Amino acid sequence: MAVANFSDASVTINSVDLSDHVESVRLETKADMLEETAMGDTTHQFQAGLLDWSLEVVLFQDYAVGSVDATLDALVGAAAFPIIIRPDSAAKSTTNPEYTGNGVLEGHQGLGGGVGTLQKVTARIRPAGALTRDAS
């Protein structure tokens, strides 16, 4: 079994490859849990409900045209946009799955930091449709 080294993630937001500005990325998938515990049961019982996913990306700020600030600022309050995430920048494969979907920007911190520090932006993206995992 190979243990994955997470050091070269690929992150594309609204067709803009921002991978070279990513400090960290977290993709979470989950399902709502619906309780179906009935009288006489001695243990809680659940079944899966609707699926949910979210993406949180921390990027080093860049105000250049076509970079971090221009890409994210245009997405606040805008229509859904495509996202593509891979654990590694190499082509998708069985050991480098690609996650794709359409999301909406819940929010981002566009400006902030302390004196003498690098500016970072945290973008939170929520689903506007299903998330697909492709490893072919």
Residue with tokens 């799955």: 97
Strand 120-127 relative to strand 16-17, pairing = unpaired
| pLDDT-derived band at 6, boundaries 50, 70, 90 | confident
3 is a domain residue: no
Residue 105 in domain: yes
Give the separation between CA 2 and CA 12, rounded to whole angstroms: 26
Task: Name the residue type at position 76.
Answer: V
Q: Which structural domain range is residue 88 located in?
A: 10-33+46-134
Instruction: With beta carbons less than 8 A apart as the criterion, state whether 7 and 83 touch.
Output: no
Is residue 87 situated within a structural domain? yes
Tell me: the pLDDT tens digits for 36-72?
999 999 999 999 999 999 999 999 999 999 999 999 9
- pLDDT above 70 for 1: no
CB 72 within 8 A of CB 121: yes
Does any domain span residue 116? yes
Task: Please tell me what DSSP assigns to residue 114.
Answer: -
What percent of the chain has pLDDT above 90? 87
This prediction has a pTM of 0.89
Total of domains in the chain:
1
Q: Does a structural domain hold residue 62?
A: yes
**CATH code for position 109:** 2.40.30
Residue 5 within a domain: no
d(CA 121, CA 60): 6
Asked if residue 104 is part of any domain, the answer here is yes
